[in-house]
Amino acid sequence: MTPSVFDPGLESITVAETELSDVDGEAGELVVRGYPIAELAANATYEESVALLLDGDLPPADRRETVRAALTDSRGLDDAVRTLVETAAAAGVDPMDALRMGVAAATLGTDDEGPSATALRVIAVVPTVVGTYWRARRGESVVDPDPSLSHAANYRYMVTGERPTAAETRALDAFLTTIVDHGLNPSTFTARTVVSTESDLVSAATAAVGTLKGPRHGGNLRRVFELLRTAHEADDVGAAVRERLADGDDLPGFGHRVYEVRDPRAAVLSAAMERLPVGGEFRATVRDLESAGVAALDDRFPRRHAAATVEFYAAALLYAVDIPPALFTPTFAVARVAGWMAHCLEQRADNVLVRPVSRYVGPTGRTWTPVEEREPTDGVTERAAVEPVSETLQTLAEPARLEVLFALAAADGPVAYSTLRERTSIEDNGRFNYHLRQLRGAFVADGDAGYALTAAGERFVETVLADDAFPADP
């Protein structure tokens, strides 16, 4: 069966039903198990967030203590695993690679414990692996977890060797809860895909760590911090932002693929950082940079409405509680691992193999040629020559995109976004946005007055209508 929509990023494809979290990019809302993220992050410890995701409800006192005890009992590393992580650190291995190895090694034998116990072991051991790696990387003594400390406090303790204050622990709890789950993001989708093959939760976790490492997912946090540090050292934050954009650089931490307004998690982490009693000058820089970045991007791209993302305030908050920038992405994993495990358990409960299809665009009709009869090649294939044409045909092959083009062709002039949506039958907002993005640039222009066909778009529509290839009213 050929899919009706070619969507390489799967933005308009629903591949799972979940009770874990709901992301509304248009309204700028995130709900976890029915609770708005702002309310949850302002009140929950990370242990409570873990129980909420795994159980479905906020834990009563006895269940909360059971989860805390299970995490405490599962947090340690044996000597062999510790040596492995220390060796990786001494060799200068990337922290996310060391985390992937450490999680795999630290969870050997957990298959016999059952999926729920394995999930808790994976959640518990991630901060210990990160802390062990960092202390060894710096040539310092490894700090064992303290059973008297909470999950968040233990993480800061194992990284820095100092017990955090109550305010720092509260800020870290807010961070961990805010990041704990966020729909079917790339690493979570990876984890669910692994489990859909009936593989184990540890394999899913290590695959998710590898996915999170990528700079287009969690690996961008270091760049956000570098931007923050540059702004903090600048005499004029606004001028520094404008100069950066003028040089052709981007602004990491601004503009989210899902949210059309400010990322709700940015607001939560901003509030958490404001509650910290230290770092007033740095907090002022963060506020100034957000204002300057939004203003500069709105001036350059007035229709995009770029706003600060969770990465922007995640980098600021983690720096404020003394988490080293090199550990920003691993710290993201410390938080998100509970979401990965909850999604894995949910996938197991009603499993369907995740198996999308691809659209073949390569050559056809070939026959075998003996090696002595093959023509020499300079490395440029026929595929390279036809690629631009192939990509154009792919772009215009979707009926929904043709509908957008015809709606613009029928208009007297530029059309506002809301009007254009009303003139098509595409009801799903995400699907409409996806198809519009695919057309923008080559076939659709996005100007200050609204959307309109480019010259190429006009030629295409005129050709289609002249050839009567499609009915006049799509």
**Residues labelled as active-site residues:** 256, 311
Q: What secondary structure, in 3-state letters, does 35-46 show?
A: EEHHHHHHHCCH
Which among 392, 420, 390 has a CA at the least distance from the CA of 406? 420
Distances (CA, A) of 187 to 53, 312, 340: 17, 19, 8
Exposed, middle or buried, 348 (CB in 10 Å: 0-12/13-18/19+)?
middle
Exposed, middle or buried, 47 (CB in 10 Å: 0-12/13-18/19+)?
buried
Which among 331, 397, 329, 327 has a CA at the least distance from the CA of 46? 331
Which among 318, 134, 133 has a CA at the least distance from the CA of 221? 318
Which among 35, 38, 27, 29 has a CA at the least distance from the CA of 51? 35
Q: How far is residue 201's CA from residue 343's CA, in Å, rounded to a whole number?
A: 10
Which among 9, 4, 2 has a CA at the least distance from the CA of 430? 9
Amino acid in the structure at residue 225: F
Q: How far is residue 339's CA from residue 41's CA, in Å, rounded to a whole number?
A: 15
Exposed, middle or buried, 248 (CB in 10 Å: 0-12/13-18/19+)?
exposed
Count of Cβ atoms closer than 10 Å to residue 247 Cβ: 7
Amino acid in the structure at residue 310: V
Q: Is 56 helix (H, G, I), strand (E, B) or coil?
A: coil
H or E element at residue 3 = none
Q: How far is residue 311's CA from residue 320's CA, in Å, rounded to a whole number?
A: 14
Distances (CA, A) of 417 to 56, 179, 399, 423, 459: 38, 31, 19, 10, 22
Count of Cβ atoms closer than 10 Å to residue 117 Cβ: 14
- Under DSSP, the state recorded for 254 is B
What residues are paired with 450 via a beta bridge?
447
Residue with tokens 């940079």: 289
- Record the tokens describing residue 191, joined without a space: 């984890």
Distances (CA, A) of 415 to 223, 301, 426: 37, 17, 16
Pairing of strands 444-447, 450-453: antiparallel
- Under DSSP, the state recorded for 470 is S
